[in-house]
Structure 1
Amino acid sequence: MKLSEAIKQYRMYLRVSMGKSEHTVSGYTSDLKQYAQFLTDNTLVEQITLERIEDFFLSLYGIKKPSSINRMLSSVHGFHEFLALQYDINDPTVLLDIHRRKQPLPKTFHLSDVQILLDSFKDTDKDLFHKAIVSVLFASGLRVSECCGLEIHQCYMDERLFRILGKGDTERIIPGADWAFEALSQYMETVRPKWRRKATSYVFINSKGNQVTRQYIYTMLKYKSKECGIEPSINPHALRHTLATTLLEGGADLRYVQQMLGHKDISTTQIYTHIDSDRLHQAVDNLHPGARLKKEKNK
């Protein structure tokens, strides 16, 4: 089977059999297209060797970000695992010994930067729309895709809660800050009715009545950051990470942050967030067995 045909079959498998979202399928497909370009589309999958796969990944180092390389490792491994299961084709990736590169922690921003951003929005329809998006992202820690897909029935305005269906169809309830719901209510009551051109349940729609896109939010934040003199630019992921870090530094339980962010495994939360060194040293001083022994000796 030609590599190009195998990728088409895998894409169909992800969409139909696995029920993956279009965004996820698109990400896998993009990675595998680069893989196919390196090996050439006419390559027969039965002839792909471990050496060729290693050459492909070695060619990426120094060009791609660690996070991109790690994602591609998952994409290529999943693809060959599919071929082995569905077509009984040898999976050379089982012997792949390319260690995952460490992903640098996402940048966080000082709370004063976030406040400057929120204070910069005026009372125009467009700014009220933008302020509501930023407020919801930062107050709830939603992924940008979850924010774009947020529907009216998921917002409990009186209870100040969001009901989110995240990755793997896992549901979580997220409490939101009063100020965030105030910004959301103002947009919902004064702006959204003007912009709605057709029946839609999406919360965030643009002036043409269409569901807001991820790219729109990224571009808006980049423009507003530049306008406010915030460097580097704030992005949705940084807002999410800043919230998580602030909660942990404020003493929030790690499992609460895990639930809020929608992480299936707490180890993801541990990698995704970091604790400042002062707090870490304080914890060691207070809780380490050696510190307790020292206290006992001084009694």
Structure 2
Amino acid sequence: MEDLVQRYLEHVRVEKRLAQRTVELYTLDLQKLCGYAEQAKVELDQVQNTHIRRWVAQMHGGGGRSGRGIALILSGWRGFYAWLGREGMVASNPVQDVRAPKAGKPLPKALSVDDSVQLASFASEDNEPWLEARDAAIVELLYGSGLRVGELTGLDAMASATARGWVDVQGAEAHVLGKGGKRRTVPVGRKAVEALQRWLALRDSAGGQAEQMALFIGRNGTRLTAQSIWQRLKRRSLQAGLTTPVHPHMLRHSFASHLLQSSSDLRAVQELLGHANITTTQVYTRLDFQHLAKAYDAAHPRARIKVAGQK
């Protein structure tokens, strides 16, 4: 087995002229293959598809390797058996149809309730009054109503036949145009209504020729872009003392997670977020479980009992 591996490594080093680091990684991958084959008491040229699948399961389950890491190993093995096939030593490539396990989707990042309140309550003394009022209203709407940043930038200050979306301050509602051209109405909380009233009172003093309909405008009077809101929110979160820079979608995740923690009404959260399929919303149940698990570990007497011998 070692002879076959050495011949292949010489091939990739000399004939394919792969980088030294790549050859080193191939070496490690093939050493792992040899180890599995030795345990199974099978020669490398006798390895079957079932062997490869079993070893992938071992790496993923018992070994704890990520899907990406396994994919890289399989790539090395696949190349080795492709070479063996060209040399006439195997009839088929046992790795050909084997794929690494799919990497699990990471949970969306959500702020804690305390961090969310800290950000929403923050007031910068460095900003001009109109700028502070605008940024505070943006935070309140993103966190208080769970809007996407594109939905936020599309809001007008009043309803019209051409409006993509608008805010009804008196009715405490936001009418937004979501993904796929789907419209929905979401409630606007008391704090957000107050923040919007402060902003609207100062909106025309922002400078420049204010765009007549846009709810949120910049210094030059034109509608704010999503990129501008990303930059302002990142800056504001760091000024507020949060350790993690905040982006608009993080506030949407926080809105959904905190609402689900309080109400446990998944269908209501789905409607408020504008998700077409409830499976998209179900990711927040995982966030909610994390919250519950932490609460259990911190509060339940049985969770705090240490196993004998542990410190």
Q: Which residue does 1:20 correspond to in 2?
A: none
Question: Counterpart of 1:275 in 2: which secondary structure?
Answer: helix
Q: Distance in 1 between matches of 2:224 and 2:100?
A: 39
> Aligned pair in 2 of structure 1 residues 144, 195: CA closer, same or farther (>3 Å)?
same
Q: Tell me the distance in 2 between the aligned counterparts of 1:276 and 1:255.
A: 17
Match of 2:144 in 1: 139
Residue deviations 1:189-226, cap 9 Å, x none? 22345446154311111011111111111111211222
Correspondent of 2:258 among 246, 255, 279:
246
Identity of aligned residues (%): 32
Structure 1 residue 171 displacement after superposition: 1.3
Larger gyration radius, structure 1 or structure 2: 2
User: Alignment partner for residue 169 of structure 1, among 181, 195, 201?
Assistant: 181
- Equivalent positions of 1:20-99 (< 5 A) are none
Task: Summarize the Cα distance change of 1:115–1:277 in structure 2 as closer, same or farther, 3 Å threshold.
Answer: closer
Q: What is the Cα-based RMSD across aligned positions, in Å?
A: 2.8
Distance in structure 2 (CA, Å) of the matches to 1:138 and 1:96? 44
- Which residue of 2 is the match for residue 201 of structure 1? 213
Of 125, 129, 135, 1:130 maps to 135
- Distance (Å, rounded) in 1 between the aligned partners of 2:294 and 2:209: 56
> What amino acid is aligned across from residue 259 of structure 1 in structure 2?
E
Q: Which amino acid aligns with 1:231?
A: T
- Contact 1:196/1:205 (8 A) holds in 2: no
1:204 aligned counterpart, secondary structure: coil
Deviation of residue 96 (structure 1)?
A: 12
Partner of 1:257: 269
Distance in structure 1 (CA, Å) of the matches to 2:153 and 2:211 = 16
More helix by share: 1
The Cα shift of 1:186 comes to: 0.9
1:196 and 1:149, CA in 2 relative to 1: closer, same or farther beyond 3 A?
Answer: farther
- TM-score, normalised on structure 2? 0.56
Gaps of 5+ in 1: 1-60, 63-94, 283-299
Of 181-190 and 256-265, deviating more is 181-190
Q: For residues 213 and 98 of structure 1, do their structure 2 counterparts lie closer, same or farther at Cα, with a shift above 3 Å needed?
A: farther
Question: Of the candidates 148, 157, 170, which is equivalent to residue 158 of structure 1?
Answer: 170
Deviation at 1:119, TM superposition (A): 2.6
Partner secondary structure for residue 155 of structure 1:
strand
CA-CA distance at 1:113 after TM superposition: 1.4
- TM-score between the two structures when normalised by the length of structure 1: 0.58
User: Which of 219, 230, 233 is equivalent to 2:242?
Assistant: 230
- Stretches of structure 2 that go unaligned for 5 or more consecutive residues are 1-67, 70-96, 160-165, 296-311
